[in-house]
Chain A
Amino acid sequence: MGQRGIKDQVAIVGMGCTQFGEHWDRSVDDMVIEAAHAAYDSAGIVQDDVDAFWVGTLGSGTSGLTISKPLKIDYKPVTRVENMCATGSEAFRNAAYAVASGAFDLVMAIGVEKLKDNGMSGLVGAPLPDDGTRANITAPASFSLLAPAYANKYGVEEDRMKEVLTRIAWKNHYNGARNSRAQFQSEVSKEKIASAPLIAGQLGVFDCSGVSDGSAAAILCRAEDAHKYTDNPIYIKALAFTSGPGAGPLDPDYDYTTFHEVSRCAEDAYAQAGVTDPRAEIAMAEVHDCFTPTELVLMEDLGFADRGTAWQEVLDGTFDLDGELPVNPDGGLKSFGHPIGASGLRMLFECWLQLRGEAPEERRIRSLDEGKKLAMTHNLGGGPGECVSFASIVGSELG
């Protein structure tokens, strides 16, 4: 294996994140300017200090011009990246590698997406010309396949499974209610979640993440330069990415209770960071809760729970804000919606706040007080058995 990673070589020294929501009054340009300038201010720099830029967006722009025009970037390299729902994280990953390579001193990764201008329900893709034989299956339906498969494999009764999924949505809304940047800032009762109209399979409206607009940005530099910009930098411990053969729709052995892409990606991330017991060592994780069963399965794929036990851990509150390993303390996709290009950096923003002790008191995680110093972000793009996966680990200290 040639995968070596860049542990402790790159630091994050500034971040900005817009409020996420239905921004009828703000354009892509507005959100880019807001997130970028918040990041500059956070790092105590001006735009001209930045040597290169990476912008992640699925469909709110093409090319580096997406940000260079509104920000009036002074003829510098701007790279636009896309990697489905991991797009924002992909901008972050490539920006980090550019710094680690020594090519640039100071870079910005920014993600942006405007989903609410098209007037449609749910996410809308731009299909490529094809032969018309692709399965006519929506994202919630595709992810809904996880729930009965998981329940069947591990002997979880249908009602109990519904309780588990409901609790995940309830937990993330509880956290989002304590976050002024979230799209949805209210707690939602379990009864309301469980009785919502069905969208696909067992999944009701509240089992699905929202649809919103938003942007987030990070300023990165070499670790040794970090203290020029901030007293509290956070350091990249691992950046992992997998893109698989798309085995799920082809392979009869695939049973819809795991994402092979994610477990392989997590293994790589832990190896890079030197993490041997993620449950014990990770203080918090922001994971890709596009639908409630996704978060359930991710708890096992990321090694936070043994196979077949995550459902019980969810019910026991292990992943609650005050639990052993808080998951999505900012409210997750559930509370933020999923402006594709922005989500990965929004997750990183919560790590930034929590590791620096800047999260508001009402959602500060207690796992940090126990001496844990690592936070994790995770995205996946695609569907069960056919996706890309990203995982990062960041920490508040070197070494």
Chain B
Amino acid sequence: MRGIVGFGAYVPYHRLQRSAIGAALGAGGGRGTRAVASYDEDATSMAVEAARNLFRSADLPTPAALSFCSATPPYLDKTNATTIHAALDLPGNVLATDMAGSARSVAGAVSAALHDQRPVLVTAGDVRSGRPGSTDESSLGDAAAAVLIADDSAEAPVLAEWIGAGTATAEFLDRWRTPGWAHSRVWEERFGESVYRQLVADAAEDAFKSSEISAADLDLAIIAGLHGRALRSAPAAAGLGAVPAAEDLTPEIGNTGSAHGLVALCHALDTAEPGQILALVTLADGVDITFWRTTEAVRDHTSHAPVRAQIDNGNDGLAYATFLTWRGFLDREPPRRPDPVPPAAPPSFRNNDWKYALKGSRDRETGMVHMPPQRVALGGNTDDSELVSMADVEATVATYTIDRLAYSPSPPTIAVVIDFDGGGRFRSELTDAAVDEVEIGMRVSMTFRRFLTADGVHNYFWKATPIRD
């Protein structure tokens, strides 16, 4: 039996109320909210957080391969998956590759993982934007998800068994964006809808043929894709009209593009009962369908960060002007300070364990934990330390200040001095927090973020963020 042995989603903290768009522009917007990646997040950093949520949910095997799927990859030429690989502290013999460029990549990555024989981690993340006032801007959203696909084992039982798949591929112009464009274009929606209607039917026929199940056996259908109109007509076209639809997350977080199908799948698995059969239908330049049957193990599974909890934990106080600033659509006056400089490649490479995996040092003589790692510890006289992983260790704010002068895309910055449980002090930036929220004694955890981009180099590192129950 092969299937999903672990899953995790990441929904960023911020929400934009769609009504804020209409209020500012006089038109557009709508009801509900969309999830917004903070100014210090991107598809890669969110994929890291999704994978961390996955691995913090259970004791899982190390994947043999990792793929990162995104239509909004932070880098071209340079592999983004290697950043995720480093942040997850995976061994060097784990293959890390991008399957990037289009939303369909996820279907390919999942298919490749299913046809592998080793544990394979599939991550997906998107930061979706549109022109101010556009449907894309209000209807899309930002999120990431990760699934670990492996053979069943006693240590890591399959939670959702893969029981079939179907595909229909076609070349047609639905949604496109040439490299360098900030926004997508779409052809007249009714054209795409008509093409998808046939493709959905073809893929469903293919899937049912391969799996020996029928539509009547299905307990839940998850329909994902960026073509809103086609999503609505797809179930009927696939003969799934009678199958209960998965909860529509788009009113609260928007359509999160490449990530959306897996986010919805994570949400379904968070609440699934054993023995349920789920269909994941993805519309993206063709249609890909996978069928999954939940196992007894799903009953005992508890997510570190369930999708519903993350959605409910959001903060919808984001101002539209701030959203536009974060996205780079509002060219604001910078502080009269030097432009930020990019990290240099050699020291970043030398310090991979620190910069990406957040490893501190523990002195073998004194036991002192230091961040960043120190070869010689305070009060020690020997050059004898070992690395210790701090990424999942929680901490307490010892003191803090509000820095109104520091360069930030979203000033002011909150600087905190934090003490980690079990030892280790670190001076960090506090993110996803309000100035009037921080206090001495506040409990924080670490989150992987993109600090800035300078000369085209994304500077990834870790920040503290409040633990919100």
Task: Give chain A's interface residues, CB within 8 Å of chain B.
Answer: 119-122, 124, 127, 129-133, 135-138, 140-142, 144-145, 148-149, 152, 198-201, 245, 247, 249-252, 254, 256
Contacts and interface: CB of A to CB of B under 8 A. Distances in A.
A120 B337 contact: yes
B337 A124 contact: yes
B133 interface: no
Interface stretch (B267-275, B308-316, B382-390, B421-429): B421-429
Contacts of A130: 343-344, 347
A200 B405 contact: yes
Contacts of B238: none
Interface string B402-434: 111111100001010101000111111100000
The 9 A-B pairs with the shortest beta carbon distances in the complex, nearest first, are A132-B343, A129-B344, A141-B403, A201-B401, A132-B459, A131-B347, A121-B336, A131-B351, A138-B405
A247 B376 CA distance: 12
A131 B348 contact: yes
Contacts of B404: 198-200
B403 A124 contact: no
B427 A249 contact: yes
B401 A144 contact: yes
A149 B440 CA distance: 10
Interface of B: 335-338, 341-344, 346-348, 350-351, 354-355, 370-372, 374, 378, 398-408, 413, 415, 417, 419, 423-429, 440, 451, 459-461
A130 B350 CA distance: 10
Contact of A131 (B355, B370, B403): B355
A250 B336 contact: no
B401 A136 contact: no
Nearest to A124: B338
Contacts, number: 117
Given A131-B344, A131-B350, A152-B440, 19 more contacts: A119-B336, A121-B336, A121-B337, A124-B338, A132-B344, A132-B460, A136-B406, A136-B451, A141-B406, A141-B413, A145-B417, A148-B399, A198-B402, A200-B402, A200-B403, A201-B402, A249-B417, A252-B423, A256-B399
Contacts of A149: 399
Contacts of A198: 402, 404
Contact of A129 (B338, B347, B400, B426): B347
B70 to A, nearest CB: 22
12 contacts: A121-B336, A131-B343, A131-B351, A135-B415, A135-B427, A136-B407, A137-B401, A141-B413, A144-B401, A145-B401, A201-B402, A256-B417
Contact of B425 (A124, A132, A136, A249): A249
B399 A135 contact: no
A353 B348 CA distance: 51
A138 B347 CA distance: 22
Q: Which of A198, A200, A245 has the largest number of chain B CB atoms within 10 A?
A: A200
A148 B408 CA distance: 24
Nearest to B414: A141
Nearest to A249: B427
A137 B406 contact: yes
Contact of B371 (A152, A250, A254): A250
Nearest to A245: B378
Contacts of A254: 425
Contact of A120 (B336, B351, B374, B426): B336
Contacts of B403: 136-138, 140-141, 200
Nearest to A132: B343
A250 B351 CA distance: 18
Contact of B335 (A121, A142, A144, A250): A121
Among B336, B399, B407, B425, the one with the most A-chain Cβ atoms within 10 Å of its Cβ is B399
Contacts of A133: 343, 351, 354-355, 372, 461
A226 to B, nearest CB: 44
Contact of A137 (B335, B399, B427): B427
A245 B375 CA distance: 12
A249 B426 contact: yes
A397 to B, nearest CB: 42
Query: Which of A136, A138, A152, A245 gathers most chain B CB within 10 Å?
Result: A136
A216 B123 CA distance: 61
Contacts of B336: 119-121
B378 A127 contact: no
A351 to B, nearest CB: 32
A136 B454 CA distance: 15
Given A120-B338, A122-B405, A132 B415 contact: no
Contact of B461 (A132, A137, A148, A251): A132
A130 to B, nearest CB: 5
Nearest to B413: A136
Contacts of B341: 127
Contacts of B399: 145, 148-149, 256
A140 B378 CA distance: 26
A122 B336 CA distance: 9
Contacts of A127: 341
Contacts of A138: 403, 405-406
A131 B354 contact: yes
A245 B380 CA distance: 11
B388 to A, nearest CB: 14
Nearest to B348: A131
Contacts of B406: 136-138, 141
Contact of B370 (A119, A142, A201, A250): A250
A141 B415 contact: yes
The CB with the most chain A CB atoms within 10 A, among B344, B400, B404, B408, is that of B404
A199 to B, nearest CB: 6
Contacts of A247: 378
Nearest to A208: B405
Nearest to B350: A131
B451 A140 contact: no
Contacts of B426: 249
Contacts of B415: 135-137, 141-142, 145
A315 B341 CA distance: 43
A127 to B, nearest CB: 6
Contact of A251 (B408, B425, B460): B425
B239 to A, nearest CB: 53
B425 A252 contact: yes
A16 to B, nearest CB: 32
Contacts of B429: 135-136
A385 to B, nearest CB: 9
B378 A251 contact: yes
B353 to A, nearest CB: 11
Contacts of A136: 403, 406-408, 413, 415, 429, 451
B398 A121 contact: no
Contact of B451 (A121, A129, A132, A144): A132
Contacts of A144: 401
Nearest to B376: A245
Contacts of B335: 121
